[in-house]
């Protein structure tokens, strides 16, 4: 199957997506969009996908982190990232707010910037409120990798891509990043990239 995911450079990825209206929720068209998003995310495979990535400027994203996607990480990497299996969830018109003031930095990539990764600093814990696929209000406090996925996908709804937030000098192709930093504790990765030097580490 041809990759249906819109790649960086397309203007839809830079727009503020529109709110999903109550009339749209529950329509066959909206359910079909959610199905296409879930399918595209699993095909890629990825752990999250926002509607603009299928060319649809609506404030909705899906996330899912299956155990088999985490198998490539070492136990130490999984623990550092607080990466845990996450069942499929849908968030409509979501709002995020940080919980606490801890920030954590790890490599992340994006299905719309295919083949690359970079270090991105994110909140360690966030609370998301919004609606589920049936239009019922939901609120969820997430920590670690699920919190990172939420921040990445919520950014897509505001036309923000991770490259806007990355440490530019950490940007690389996935094979390069894997070869150079795979299995290393994040402190060593940051040291190797000179990110612990005062004035080089980006602020908030």
**The one segment of 15-23, 98-106, 107-115, 136-144 that binds Co ion by CB under 5 A:** 107-115
Which range binds Co ion by CB under 5 A, 11-19, 106-114, 115-123, 187-195?
A: 106-114
Identity of the residue, 20 or 62, whose beta carbon is nearer to Co ion in the bound complex: 62
Q: Are 52 and 13 contacting, i.e. CB atoms less than 8 angstroms apart?
A: yes
Residue nearest to Co ion (CB): 110
| Residue in 80, 125, 153, 201 annotated catalytic | 153
Only segment of 1-9, 12-20, 105-113, 138-146 that touches Co ion (CB under 5 A)? 105-113
- Supply the minimum distance, in Å, between the C-beta of residue 110 and Co ion: 3
Phi-psi region of 135 (alpha: psi -120 to 50; beta: other; left: phi over 0): left
For the CB of residue 35, give the shortest distance to Co ion in the complex, in Å: 19
Q: What is the DSSP secondary-structure string of 100-163?
A: SS-EEEEEE--TTSTTEEEEEEEESEEEEEEE-TTS-EEEEEEESHHHHHHHHHHHHHTT--GG
153 catalytic? Reply is yes
State the nearest-atom distance from the C-beta of 111 to Co ion, in Å: 6
Please report, to the nearest 10 degrees, the dihedral formed by the alpha carbons of residues 186, 188, 193, 196 taken in order: 80
Identify the CA nearest to 170 among candidates 202, 145, 143, 144: 202
**Residue 110 found at the interface with Co ion (CB under 5 A):** yes
Supply the residues annotated as catalytic.
153
Given the rule CB under 5 A, which residues bind Co ion? Answer: 110
């Amino acid at each position: 199957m041809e990759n249906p995911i819109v790649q960086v450079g397309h203007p839809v990825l830079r727009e503020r997506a529109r709110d999903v209206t109550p009339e749209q929720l529950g329509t066959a068209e909206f359910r079909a969009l959610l199905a296409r998003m879930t399918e595209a995310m699993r095909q890629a495979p990825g752990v999250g996908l926002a509607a603009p990535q299928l060319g649809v400027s609506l404030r909705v994203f899906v996330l899912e982190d299956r155990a088999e996607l985490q198998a490539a990480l070492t136990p130490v990497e999984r623990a550092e990232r607080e990466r845990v299996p996450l069942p499929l969830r849908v968030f409509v018109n979501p709002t995020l707010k940080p919980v606490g003031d801890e920030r954590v930095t790890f490599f992340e990539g994006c299905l719309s910037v295919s083949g690359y990764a970079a270090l991105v600093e994110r909140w360690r814990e966030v609370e998301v409120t919004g609606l589920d696929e049936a239009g019922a209000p939901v609120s969820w406090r997430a920590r670690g990798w699920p919190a990172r996925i939420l921040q990445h996908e919520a950014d897509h709804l505001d036309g923000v891509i991770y490259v806007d937030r990355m440490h530019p000098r950490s940007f690389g192709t996935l094979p390069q990043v894997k070869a150079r930093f795979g299995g290393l504790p994040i402190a060593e990765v940051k040291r190797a990239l000179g990110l612990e030097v005062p004035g080089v580490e980006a602020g908030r």
